[in-house]
Amino acid sequence: MLYRKVGDTGIDVSALGFGTMRFKGAENAAEIIARGLQLGMNYFDIGTAYSFNTSDDNAEAWTGAALRGVPRERLVLSAKAQCRGEGEPKVERGLGIATRDQMWQCLENSLKRVGVDWFDFYQLWDMSAPAHFAATCEGADTPLQALREAKEQGLIKHLGFTTHAKSAETVEWLRRVPDFRTVTIYYNFADLACEEVIDYAQANGIGVNIMGPLRGGLLVGESAAFARHLPELAGVPVQEIALRFLLSYPGVSSVLSGMNEIAHLEQNAAVAADEQTMTSAQRHAFLAAFTELTGGEPLCTGCKYCQGVCPEGLPVFWMMGLFQLHEVFHLASASQQLAGLHGKARADAGKCTACQTCVEACPQDLPIPERMKRMKQAVEELHAAAEE
């Protein structure tokens, strides 16, 4: 296992980190964590709400139980709670935390469940819009106030946040709250826009963890397109290419994977132990191949500038991302998901009126209405083929 610095915190984390949201139960967590520790993993991304059944029966408690007896200094633990200023507070679950006192209660619960005296990191979970930042970090009586107090008392070593926000917003929050020494973002080879955040973080001594390395499980299987354009990657599963791509980007501290099978864990750990995950020449060729694959058309970078702008309520960012995995990368997992969209009004490409609103918002000048037309046709064809 290779280890990387988390910015300038002085903490080293395993290049492959544990996402703890997919454990099937206490036994599964114990088995997977034991093997991960054997393979050298030390970074655990814990969330109070993960698999929450009761206060004593949840992924946080299972993780704590699996780590009992492991020397504390061998572990790097990052906990988190959702503090977006929305919804009814559910302190036991770490959801809707809105005030200093609720945050303190939540933190104390987490320390107790995991069975430790301090966390290396504590992250504000899914701070993904300016309103979330304002509710969490601005003014008096905020969750951030409690976390700063806890840091002074040594219960937390460093603060951070996880986010799905636009890159410019994420950078702005890192700039405005210098206490944030780590950030967890959504990044994969099909969503490249957040590299701006990684570059900023690296230049400012802030660690970066990656979530969603397989774009919600879509970047899997074989891609004939890659094999054709990058013969040296022929036969390498897309999930491995995806992991190699992320680990080769300078400034990435750890890639989180929510694993609940030993075989999956071992495959990922083998990649994270490879000094040469992807050479810069391979990475360059990989990115250059995208242009060939699209025939010169721009790629959706997942920047989200089109989010919420469609008068028809279409989730343009999500649809463009999915469609290009099918059309450009020829991923069977994406084609299958596209076929499943048939008859679903929520993402019906046929609703596009070509009004151009999203095109005006798109920095890549993507021909979105044109792609919506192709997407509609693809959904119909894939659905018909699946019915045969």
Which residues contribute to the site for ligand SF4 (CB under 6 A)? 300-306, 309-310, 312, 314, 316-317, 320, 352-358, 361-362, 364, 366, 368-369, 372
Distance in Å, CB of 122 to ligand SF4, minimum: 30
247 vs 322 by CB, closer to ligand SF4: 322
41 vs 347 by CB, closer to ligand SF4: 347
98 vs 347 by CB, closer to ligand SF4: 347
Alpha carbons 101 and 151: distance in angstroms, whole number = 15
Distance in Å, CB of 324 to ligand SF4, minimum: 9
* Tokens (6 digits) for 137: 């970090």
126 vs 191 by CB, closer to ligand SF4: 191
Amino acid at 305: Y
* Tokens (6 digits) for 152: 């002074």
Distance in Å, CB of 193 to ligand SF4, minimum: 7
44 vs 187 by CB, closer to ligand SF4: 187
H or E element in which residue 77 lies: strand 76-82
Distance in Å, CB of 375 to ligand SF4, minimum: 10
Phi-psi region of 346 (alpha: psi -120 to 50; beta: other; left: phi over 0): alpha
Distance in Å, CB of 347 to ligand SF4, minimum: 10
Whether residue 265 contacts residue 259, with contact meaning beta carbons closer than 8 Å, is answered with yes
Distance in Å, CB of 319 to ligand SF4, minimum: 8
3-class DSSP state for residue 235?
A: coil
Tell me, rounded to whole angstroms, the distance of Cα 318 from its chain centroid.
15
Burial of 275 (0-12, 13-18, 19+ CB in 10 A): exposed
74 vs 344 by CB, closer to ligand SF4: 344
Whether residue 257 contacts residue 17, with contact meaning beta carbons closer than 8 Å, is answered with yes
Which sign, positive or negative, has the C-alpha torsion 382, 383, 387, 388?
negative
Whether residue 38 contacts residue 46, with contact meaning beta carbons closer than 8 Å, is answered with no
H or E element in which residue 293 lies: helix 280-293
1 vs 309 by CB, closer to ligand SF4: 309
Would you tell me how many other CB atoms lie within 10 Å of the CB of residue 140?
7
Distance in Å, CB of 315 to ligand SF4, minimum: 9
